[in-house]
């Protein structure tokens, strides 16, 4: 068992990636090599989006290394491969799902598997509800899952949306809340924001809770002060979730990944105003006297 721990929070907080060259001396120890970045990241945050699995699964040896490097208490929230989620009407090859489950099992055996999320393609409408239902009902019940809808049908505030939310409640799965309002709150200020606005969907706002682990993917801007009003809004919601005994997963996205940790820290501090018992992130990392402690404290300067 790993003697070091991730931050001990009543919720999971992380970024969309764990690898970013700009995080040296901030999230990573100042002199960390790339093969140490995951280790350092898991001592600063207690979860991460595993977006890389959307494009393809790594070798099982790589998965075992990732799992072994994670600090105790850390959770990987992997995304379903596009070979499963983005084939027409979810008619994927069953062997692809079997391979993905074998991959996830490695992390489950190490105690670091979090909620795995299925991002539905924008063209998957309510006409495919029965197929989606069949897939979700056949997923292992001893693991936890989340579903991110994108087609307008799932936001109709009527029959289709109620069907989806009801299914997720029945299965104990979370509806992924994708909030890109901050990103589109003003014109892009740089190339990264322009590209992000050309790619990210404008899904209708929802704060729907279907289980004890709401999952929020919040897309901000590179200037964190420009999304303050949205951070305030979500801080109130998250603080209320915590008071109800929920344990959400919160992921902060910025067009340029280098600013994602700053956004996460700022959101956490706003939650602390409403829930004073929460410790600061700087006090949480169990890194002793290593350089990584210095790196984490520099987050306070953002």
* 272 within domain boundaries: yes
Closest CA to 10 of 42, 48, 46: 46
* 7 within domain boundaries: no
Higher per-residue confidence, 291 vs 161: 161
* 126 within domain boundaries: yes
* 5 within domain boundaries: no
Instruction: Count structural domains, the chain.
Output: 1
* 224 within domain boundaries: yes
- Of the pLDDT bands very low, low, confident and very high (cuts 50, 70, 90), residue 25 is confident
pLDDT tens, position by position, 9-20: 999 999 999 999
* 200 within domain boundaries: yes
Mean pLDDT of all residues in 193-213: 97
- Of the pLDDT bands very low, low, confident and very high (cuts 50, 70, 90), residue 4 is confident
Residues 6+ away with beta carbon under 8 Å from 233: none
Confidence check: pLDDT of 59 > 60: yes
**Does the global pTM surpass 0.85?**
yes
**Residue 280: what pLDDT?**
86
**Residue 288: what pLDDT?**
28
- Name the 3-class secondary structure at 176: strand
Q: What is the DSSP string of 180-220?
A: -TTGGGS--SSHHHHHHHHHS--PPP-----SSS-EEEEE-
Mean pLDDT of all residues in 248-271: 97
What are phi and psi for residue 148, nearest 5 degrees? -110, 105
- Tell me, rounded to whole angstroms, the distance of Cα 162 from its chain centroid: 24
Q: What is the CATH number of the domain that holds 44?
A: 3.20.20.410
Distance in angstroms (rounded) separating the CA atoms of residues 243 and 147: 24
- Of the pLDDT bands very low, low, confident and very high (cuts 50, 70, 90), residue 293 is very low
Distance in angstroms (rounded) separating the CA atoms of residues 226 and 224: 5
pLDDT tens, position by position, 91-144: 999 999 999 999 999 999 999 999 999 999 999 999 999 999 999 999 999 999
Higher per-residue confidence, 300 vs 52: 52
* 128 within domain boundaries: yes
* 202 within domain boundaries: yes
* Structural contact between residues 295 and 26, judged by C-beta atoms closer than 8 angstroms: yes
- Of the pLDDT bands very low, low, confident and very high (cuts 50, 70, 90), residue 281 is confident
- Of the pLDDT bands very low, low, confident and very high (cuts 50, 70, 90), residue 285 is very low
**Residue 282: what pLDDT?**
65
Closest CA to 212 of 242, 237, 252: 242
pLDDT tens, position by position, 205-257: 999 999 999 999 999 999 999 999 999 999 999 999 999 999 999 999 999 99
Give the tokens for residue 292: 């990584």
234: domain range? 12-301
């Amino acid at each position: 068992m790993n003697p070091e721990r991730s931050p001990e929070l009543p919720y999971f907080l992380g970024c969309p990636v764990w690898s970013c060259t700009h995080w040296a001396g901030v999230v990573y120890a100042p002199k960390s090599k790339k093969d140490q970045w995951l280790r350092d990241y898991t001592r600063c945050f207690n979860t991460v989006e595993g977006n890389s699995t959307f494009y393809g699964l790594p070798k099982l040896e790589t998965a075992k290394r990732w799992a072994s490097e994670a600090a105790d208490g850390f959770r990987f929230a992997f995304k379903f491969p596009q070979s499963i989620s983005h084939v027409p009407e979810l008619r994927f090859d069953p062997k692809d799902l079997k391979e993905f489950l074998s991959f996830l099992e490695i992390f489950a055996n190490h105690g670091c598997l979090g909620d795995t999320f299925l991002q539905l393609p924008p063209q998957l409408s309510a006409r495919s509800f029965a197929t989606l239902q069949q897939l979700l009902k056949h997923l292992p019940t001893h693991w936890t899952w989340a579903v991110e809808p994108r087609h307008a049908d799932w936001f109709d505030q009527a029959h289709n949306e109620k069907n989806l939310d009801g299914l997720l409640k029945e299965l104990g799965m979370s509806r992924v809340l994708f909030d890109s309002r901050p990103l589109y709150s003003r014109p892009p200020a740089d190339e990264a924001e322009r590209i992000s606005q050309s790619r990210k969907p404008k899904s209708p706002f929802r704060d729907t809770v279907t289980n004890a682990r709401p999952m929020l993917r919040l897309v901000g801007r590179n200037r964190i002060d420009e999304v303050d009003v949205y951070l305030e809004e979500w801080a109130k919601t998250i603080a209320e979730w915590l008071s109800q005994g929920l344990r959400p997963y919160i992921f902060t996205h910025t067009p340029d990944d280098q600013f994602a940790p700053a956004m996460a820290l700022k959101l956490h501090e706003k939650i602390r105003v409403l829930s004073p018992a929460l410790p600061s992130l700087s006090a949480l990392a169990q890194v002793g006297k290593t350089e990584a402690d210095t790196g984490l404290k520099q987050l306070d300067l953002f």
